[in-house]
Amino acid sequence: MQHRRFSVKWISSSEEEHHQHLKQIFDRFKEYGVIVNPSKTVGATKKGLCYMVVTDLVTPYRNEGYHVYMDNFYTSSDLYMELKRTGFQACGTIKMIEKTRKRKNIRGTETIKKPRVVEDYNQHMNGVDLSDQMVLYYGYGHRAVKWWKRPFFHFIDLELVNANILYNEGTWKPLPHIKFRIAIVKGLLKGHTYSSRWSS
């Protein structure tokens, strides 16, 4: 799949409880070679965009014992060494090169126990997938001429997802996301009356 020439790259981190609390935006034109925040990680672009993104996102949480999970888009030896140096544990998938796989004839069946690290990865990476899924189902999603409208409404959708999660954690009667959105709309409209300029 080819990258779109005109697009915005969204990069987010998520807690285990599915709260997406950190966001960075990279313009596709500036994706390679421009440091987003010059006051941080000077020279990080020499090791790649992914290295810069991850190290910048986790900077406030150094040496606090956090475990970072990521997919193969971000995984690199340089990044993992830096995370270990700054007090993080890290886990992620890698891209398997087809030519390096050993091919052999399989006879019969063999039961292999799933490693614990695989279960941990699937459990913790579920947060990003669930949040993205909820935004996709009920998000704004309309095309706009102005480039800033898509990020603006995406942030609103994301905060609604986070608010729904926090609400469900603090109540004995949780609401599905669609009903939570409807309740938000009703709450915002409460006390306001509609008047038509054409009414007599």
User: Does residue 89 sit within a domain?
Assistant: yes
Say yes or no to pLDDT of 126 above 80.
no
How far is the C-alpha of 16 from the C-alpha of 124, rounded, in Å?
5
- Between 20 and 154, the more confident residue is 154
- Between 61 and 23, the more confident residue is 61
- Mean per-residue pLDDT for 45-72? 83
Of 12-16, 57-61, 109-113, give the range with the top mean pLDDT: 57-61
Phi/psi of residue 12, each to 5°? -135, 160
Judge if pTM exceeds 0.95.
no
Query: Is the CB of residue 42 less than 8 Å from the CB of residue 35?
Result: yes
Total number of domains in the chain: 1
User: Does residue 69 sit within a domain?
Assistant: yes
CA distances from residue 163 to 56, 129, 180 in whole angstroms, order as listed: 25, 17, 9
User: Does residue 196 sit within a domain?
Assistant: no
Average pLDDT over the chain reads: 73
List helix spans (H) across the chain: 49-58, 77-85, 116-138, 149-169, 177-189
User: Does residue 152 sit within a domain?
Assistant: yes
Question: Which pair of tokens denotes residue 42?
Answer: 């000077």
Domain interval for residue 71: 8-97+106-189
Query: Is the CB of residue 25 less than 8 Å from the CB of residue 9?
Result: yes
Convert the pLDDT of each residue in 76-86 to its tens digit: 889 999 999 99
User: Does residue 85 sit within a domain?
Assistant: yes
User: Does residue 14 sit within a domain?
Assistant: yes
User: Does residue 114 sit within a domain?
Assistant: yes
How far is the C-alpha of 200 from the C-alpha of 187, rounded, in Å?
29
User: Does residue 199 sit within a domain?
Assistant: no
